[in-house]
Amino acid sequence: MWGGKKDEGTVPNPARENPTATARDLRPLGSTMGAGPRSSGARLGRSLSVKGELVGNEELVIDGEFEGSIELNESSLTVGPQGRVQADVRAREIVVEGTVRGNLCAADRLQISKSGNVVGDLVAARIVIEDGAYFKGSIDIQKPGEQKKTKGEGGESFRITPVAAKEKTQ
């Protein structure tokens, strides 16, 4: 399930190498990462392994392991080169430099970098895939406000639901 690229070695697992990491690895980025896309928001450090449901509205960088679900509807998620995510993700923008197993839905842009390894179904307004990236799954372009009928697996289980509507139903 967590296999790396099929023709390459496995991805290192920092969490297993350092199971004694503490929560201080989950900290704001401003003081450590400088300018750029990682300059605000939070970061899941390389030595952290988290399971659960993550909901929020700030930029998030995952360099460790995450399993569960992620909703960052107005913010961006970056899975760093060492990051390993097994989750369905919804965010405004998603950048994958590491390993992801799960369906990804980006309201705006979804990028798989050359070091990225993704198995899942992708839905986004714009998709950028760098040469050398590994991807297995489906790609569907959906403009904002558009809801296409999809065939096959994944289409029904991963819909964009307006937050207000979701709150009413809960």
Partner 1 sequence: MGSVLRTLQSWFQPPAQEVAVPGVPRRASLGLQQLVPVLRESEHAGVVDLGCVWQSTVSFFTGIGCKIYTEDLFAALQQALAEKKPEAPPLARVGLEQRFLASALQYPEGSFRGILVWDLFDYLPQELVGPLAARLHRLLEPGGALLALFHNRPEKVQFNRYRVVEAGTLELLPGSLPLQVQRTFSNRALLDLFAPFSTSRTFVGRDNLRELFLVK
Q: Which is nearer to partner 1, 45 or 120 (CB)?
A: 120
Our finding on whether 37 is near partner 1 (CB under 8 A) is: no
DSSP 6: T
Our finding on whether 55 is near partner 1 (CB under 8 A) is: no
Question: Which 64-93 residues touch partner 1, going by CB under 8 A?
Answer: 74, 92
Distance CA 5, CA 133 (A): 9
Our finding on whether 159 is near partner 1 (CB under 8 A) is: no
* Residue 27: how many other CB atoms lie within 10 Å: 13
- Per-residue binding string, partner 1, 4-33, x by CB under 8 A, is -xxx--------------------------
Cα distances from 32 to residues 5, 25, 42, in angstroms, run 30, 11, 11
Please provide residue 32's backbone torsions phi and psi, each rounded to the nearest 5 degrees: -120, -25
- Quick one: which of 60, 50, 134, 135 has its CA closest to 91? 60
Q: Which is nearer to partner 1, 37 or 68 (CB)?
A: 37
Q: Which is nearer to partner 1, 131 or 167 (CB)?
A: 131
Pick from 50, 69, 138, 160 the residue near partner 1 by CB under 8 A.
138
121 close to 142: Cβ distance less than 8 angstroms = no
List residues binding partner 1 (CB under 8 A).
Answer: 5-7, 74, 92, 107-109, 112, 125-131, 133-141, 144, 148-153
